[in-house]
Structure 1
């Protein structure tokens, strides 16, 4: 594991918080892979401040695809006892931002790349590294147009989010939405004569809670998830200028995370109907009262049948059982391309992900390296 740990030390040293550039890390990985005979294609974001990578080695063919994101979540305000951007080893753990989510997996992939450079392959090894996953899988969506013709049709894709090396065959899809509530300005002494946008917003919030309750008590269930039903969550409510002014605008930001059986378009239609229903009674005061709902981001879920051959293949390589995870990943985008995809990587999202003193156990990293060895053996001529 020496090489894997050396690489992880370099990766953690790059401050790739999503709000910052990841180009120094991408330069390092590009040079590392090119020196080992990989063909490497950089795919930049629209600003030029970030980039992803597609790389492959070996003969033309389906092969196996390994995928990860390079960005990490912020550390500000968290009580770290270690430097978050310096790998620190204590006993059987290595500490640092991204060790679990998900630079430990990237280090294991790059260590595999070094071994693959000295092997004769019968199929290609393919690697995708993205950016801005932590802010809603934005990077992979921007990369897809250029990425799709490069990838081809691998017979298996492993997205290395932390699953404690279990083979994750499902996670919910997600959509992020904004609702802008339009009312009227007026003096608070005459408040009943005007439509208060905050009243619209809070009534709409109650409608969203009613939808959530219906999913919870009457909706479809999948007990493989910690929360076994589709969820609707309001994360922010804002509005108003001063106490003595009736607010003419209020805004909610909210999300839904849905089971595969609950179609995203049906949920969105239900939310829009709730918005229209909320505004209607206010028309007796002002006909212009309304709630505009905008979906500004979304990513697909993952829903792989236990009978899919990729599941047995992944279990053979990881030597672990299957599971489903509560968090979202980029896996659904590869599944949409017709690529058999699972999520499998070292570390625990629940235990270490996004937390201060994030760490990865050496045992988990060792299990991941062992899976990479089996992948290499499977690709060898």
Structure 2
């Protein structure tokens, strides 16, 4: 039997999907819509902006004011682009076909946001003994940038929730761990010249290739450092090169080149090891060789995002709470994809991932969510309201 709030939830989700909140664009109109709904039920809200003021996080609280130990329902508002994808319906129009709702962000993760917003009035009307918080963030898809700003602001004013449920699509299963995700662009500045005399220039592409070769060597070492009881797939930390671009012609010594790469560590130790090895190679090998020919040559690594992994914590408060709300008896698992969950954990907040929809549908054309998943999420939030009121 469908939950009583399902129709309201689907209407809210349709409104959320209609906002084209692709990461490269502003999410302010979407945040304004959410803020208006929460203002109507008396939620206490705080906005934090990106440096340009074109994107915002919204943190809302219902229940006892100025009380620590609350529960956070967290999700990101941005979605991935649709360019180059073959959709059979308008990606920004929620399209119901049977028991599925199609549209960009339906499962990742506006379905969860809609469930939380639909329950807002019930949370507001209940006699909550602990606060319920809702966190809506920007730029999760491009480095979890918004959540870091939001959490730093919460810490600066001394607010300390106890538990966080990140509603990424997990088929309503409990996820207790994932790798970190660290993304970088390393840019090489060389010295151009005629290709007939390559020794008189500094070939930025050549040094980028040396750099990539060293990354792959470090990646092989990381395989030997896999924890014996690792539950990740693959079990070790990984390095991956996604893009390399440089040079202007075959007969010109390349003056510039850039490499987009990532590190996904299973532990803080692997993160520190890989970064130290890479930095030492650049400082003691690449740069001296480049600058012997051209003192102006350089290597600069830009941090696109460094997102902490979610470390599995057996018998955590978050795990126990979500089990009691869902009746799930399956073992909590670990996944390869990244989320904002590790950032909450870094701030001392017990965190798990549990939300409606399947990650197998995320980022694809004709992304969809099953109505049964929405029902299951609404049931979980229903029990959460009773738990907080009890």
TM-score tier, shorter chain, comes to over 0.9
> Post-superposition shift, 1:171?
1.0
CA distance in 2, matches of 1:199, 1:43: 43
CA distance in 1, matches of 2:244, 2:284: 19
Superposition CA RMSD, Å: 2.1
From 309, 316, 335, the counterpart of 2:324: 316
From 283, 288, 305, the counterpart of 2:313: 305
Alpha-carbon displacement from aligned partner over 1:42-69 (angstroms, at most 9, x marks no partner): 2232322222211111113322111111
Which residue of structure 2 aligns with residue 65 of structure 1? 72
User: 324-333 or 176-185, which moves further after superposition?
Assistant: 176-185
Which residue of structure 2 aligns with residue 356 of structure 1? 365
Contact 2:201 2:294 (8 Å CA) reproduced: no
Compute the TM-score of the two structures, normalised by the length of structure 2: 0.91
1:280-359 matched pairs, under 5 angstroms: 282=289, 286=293, 288=295, 291-320=299-328, 321=330, 322-349=332-359, 351-359=360-368
Alignment of 1:20 with 2:20, yes or no, is: no
Equivalent pairs counted in the alignment come to: 380
1:40-119 matched pairs, under 5 angstroms: 40-60=45-65, 61=67, 62-119=69-126
Which residue of structure 2 aligns with residue 196 of structure 1? 203
Contact 1:88 1:95 (8 Å CA) reproduced: yes
CA distance in 2, matches of 1:47, 1:214: 40
Where does structure 2 lack aligned partners over 5 or more consecutive residues?
Answer: 1-5
User: 30-39 or 70-79, which moves further after superposition?
Assistant: 30-39
1:129 partner SS: strand
> Post-superposition shift, 1:37?
2.0
Which residue of structure 1 aligns with residue 384 of structure 2? 375
Which residue of structure 1 aligns with residue 217 of structure 2? 210
Where does structure 1 lack aligned partners over 5 or more consecutive residues?
Answer: none
Contact 2:188 2:300 (8 Å CA) reproduced: yes
> Post-superposition shift, 1:172?
1.0
Alpha-carbon displacement from aligned partner over 1:157-214 (angstroms, at most 9, x marks no partner): 1011111111111111122223233433221112244332211111221111111122
Compute the TM-score of the two structures, normalised by the length of structure 1: 0.93
Alpha-carbon displacement from aligned partner over 1:119-172 (angstroms, at most 9, x marks no partner): 221211111111111111111223333333568222211011111111111111
Contact 2:195 2:252 (8 Å CA) reproduced: yes
From 228, 248, 263, the counterpart of 2:255: 248
User: 43-52 or 156-165, which moves further after superposition?
Assistant: 43-52
- The change in CA–CA distance for 1:194 and 1:113 in structure 2 (over 3 A counts) is same
